[in-house]
Structure 1
Amino acid sequence: MELQLKITGILMIALALLHVIFPRYFNWKQELMPLSVINREMMYVHAFFIALTVLLMGLLCLTSAGALLGTALGRRICLGFALFWMARLCIQFFGYSSRSWKGKRFETAVHVAFSFLWLYLSGVFMFTYLG
């Protein structure tokens, strides 16, 4: 299971770094222009802090897999991570409209790939918590 935690760490670090391209890929400069300044800034700030949180989760898994597996606190942290990623998995299906991806080859592939990623992360952390 230690290897699985380290793999999740690498995946989360990569996911955090992927956030760097969001503003350009999603054309935030133009798309967010109609919003008030505070709402526009909140999009950037929240995206930054989500990326930072995922990066720190990844670093914790990569550098402290043994502690996550071998201590009561580590297992509780894994329970929190499992709940976080399970919530993200639910949002994948209930928070986003299928119009964003249905009938579009690339977007559907991304939707499916990330659905499996959220499921994998949820599973690894839940199995770690359960011991």
Structure 2
Amino acid sequence: MTGLLAVEVQLRLVGAVLVGLGVGHVALPRVLAWRPQFAGLRPLTRQVLYTHTFFIGVMCVLLGLAPLLLAADLLAPGRVPAAVLGAECVFWGLRWGAQFVAFPPATWRGSRLHRAGYAGFTLLWTWIVAVFAAALLTR
């Protein structure tokens, strides 16, 4: 397959999106107005939340760099590319599942923006898992 639908191109696109998503974690506390919401938390709890958010962002960047920069290598035969693609499938597949478990309707039905975000992220995780699975199965 050639063009935009080629697996290698899709891997690079997924990689770019994941890097952008990871970098976007920097703005998450401001966008979600954490300062006033976290004001009542104990300092340790607040710091754990900020620290975990930072490391989740770093992981998104790292998990995105491989497909962004090494898409052709990931599609080559071998155990290491299969392991990397398999790990990405498992990781993002778990994130896809968490979309339905960790975010019940009560958390996103309140506003049009939250509904759009929920739908958008559901589609995003579905696409990411599908691309990694297609890469793993067609290499």
Shift of 1:84: 0.9
Deviation string 1:31-70 (CA, Å, 9 cap, x unpaired) is 1122221111111110000000101111111111111111
The list of structure 1 runs, each at least 4 consecutive aligned residues, that deviate by more than 4 angstroms after superposition, is none
Distance 2:103 2:110 in 1: 15
Residue 91 (structure 1) aligned with residue 98 (structure 2) = yes
Aligned to 2:59: 53
Residue 131 (structure 2) aligns with: 124
Which residue, out of 25, 28, 32, partners 2:31? 25
In structure 1, give the amino acid aligned to 2:14.
T
Residue identity over aligned pairs, in percent, reads: 30
RMSD after superposition: 1.2
Could you tell me which amino acid in structure 2 is paired with residue 21 of structure 1? A
* Uncovered stretches (5+) of structure 1, i.e. residues with no partner: none
1:77 has 2:93 as partner: no
Cα displacement (A) at 1:96: 1.5
For 1:99 and 1:17, the matched residues in 2 are separated by 28
Query: Residue 26 of structure 1: CA displacement?
Result: 1.3
Specify the code of the residue in structure 2 equivalent to 1:12: L
Specify the SS of the correspondent of 1:64.
Answer: helix
Unmatched runs of 5 consecutive residues or more in structure 2:
1-6
Give 1:125 shift.
Answer: 0.8
For residues 104 and 45 of structure 2, the distance between their equivalents in structure 1, rounded to whole angstroms, comes to: 21
1:2–1:65 CA contact under 8 A, matched in 2:
yes
Stretch moving more, 28-37 or 42-51: 28-37
In structure 1, the residue matched to 2:113 is 106
**1:60-100 Cα distance to aligned partner (Å, 9 max, x none):** 11111111111321121111111111111111111113112
Normalising by the residue count of structure 2, what TM-score does the alignment of the two structures yield?
Answer: 0.89
Tell me the TM-score normalised to structure 1 length: 0.94
Q: Is the 8 A contact 1:23 1:29 kept in 2?
A: yes
